[in-house]
Structure 1
Amino acid sequence: MTFGDTNFIGVVNAERYKSFVDQDWDLDGLLTHFSNEMKEGNILVCQMTEEGIEHSWSVDIKIGTEEITHQYFRKAVGYINVTDNKLCLVDC
């Protein structure tokens, strides 16, 4: 992903993910929303930094139960529903 001011990176099922959080959202509400959507299998998201920074990220996506043997900065593990064989990589 090219750099930008971002805190989160995720893989999203755009067909199922409920993107609206709240007009007057705060970080706790956003984290609750992400958690709820992860439980529904609509997103896998991880917080990259405590504050937004401009940086380019390399993202590795593994499918199945393959063990990750190399170093990583952040990791999200879970299940995600796939609609029409499509998922989106997003930064928030």
Structure 2
Amino acid sequence: MLGLIISLIIVGLIAGALARLLVPGRQDLSIPATILLGIIGSFVGGFLGYLVFGKDGDDGFFQPSGIIGSVIGAVIVLLIWTRVRSRQ
């Protein structure tokens, strides 16, 4: 259980940092917010992978994905976050 939490944090940090590098503009996110961005992006990437490829149905509808899916999901979440934040 502890290994799962640590790996989730590490993958979240990597995916969130890569997403912040790929999305142009300035994002005012702290390190914990970047980790949370990557973790949420991982689940979004797993959800999209399930919808597109239809695999891993036994694991449930929401599932953690690989690092590439995590980065893609984190980019999507970050783009949505910047659009919502710019309207406020």
TM-score by length of 2: 0.28
Query: Bigger relative contact order, structure 1 or 2, given CA contacts below 8 A and separation 6+?
Result: 1
TM-score by length of 1: 0.28
Q: Which has the higher helix share?
A: 2
